[in-house]
Amino acid sequence: MRVVLAEDLALLRDGLTRLLEAFEFEVVEAVDNGPALLPALLKHRPDVAVVDVRLPPTFTDEGLQAAIAARTEVPGLPILVLSQHVEPLYARELLSDRNGGVGYLLKDRISNVAQFVDAVRRVADGGTAMDPEVVSQLLARREPLAVLTTREREVLGEMAEGRSNAAIAAALFVTEKAVSKHINNIFTKLGMPPSDDDNRRVLAVLTYLNG
């Protein structure tokens, strides 16, 4: 899989490049600033872009803005955003476009190589990879979730992290049938039709939760 990487810290950028290449990704370009990112994404049209939110010159949201602009030109371009902190505003902007794979991870998660590589692959395949801490904060911000039971909230949190029904059942020590029932209840209570497409259902839930 071809990757465009955007990270301003030289050591981290080099480390991510080496890590990805060790797992048979091809880093076609690695940039260290916002202005260079959009041209790189449009030139290479990678299978996935791994992008830091805050890049030079202003260290605000250059990475995210370049990623959103690239998805306008290349609909569905898979984007995995990296951030030092939980920034719900950035998560909302990214998730507002339901086309293509999206992810939002805290940089601390990179230390777990297997999970990070799995997240990159999942997003490249059109799926969703959301950091549990981001999910937790998004869930806590919405009043409508008061209609959900404690178990339904737990299932929703697992869904938002991109897990399948089988994985949710294993994590919560319940049956897949019970998980399916909880998911149907969640969609009914939140006014959303159920879907067999796991990625779409996660994006729909997160988009709703994030306003």
Question: What are 69-125's pLDDT values in tens digits?
Answer: 899 899 889 999 998 877 766 666 676 666 788 888 999 888 899 989 999 999 999
Task: Output the pTM of the full model.
Answer: 0.69
- What is 47-112 written as a DSSP string? SEEEEESS-TTTTSSHHHHHHHHHHHHSTT--EEEEESS--HHHHHHHHT--SS-EEEEEGGGGGS
Nearest to 182 by CA among 154, 210, 145, 144: 154
Q: Is the pLDDT of residue 202 over 70?
A: no
List of domains in the chain: 2-131 (3.40.50.2300), 142-209 (1.10.10.10)
Question: What are 42-66's pLDDT values in tens digits?
Answer: 999 999 999 998 899 988 888 988 9
Tell me what pLDDT residue 200 has: 58
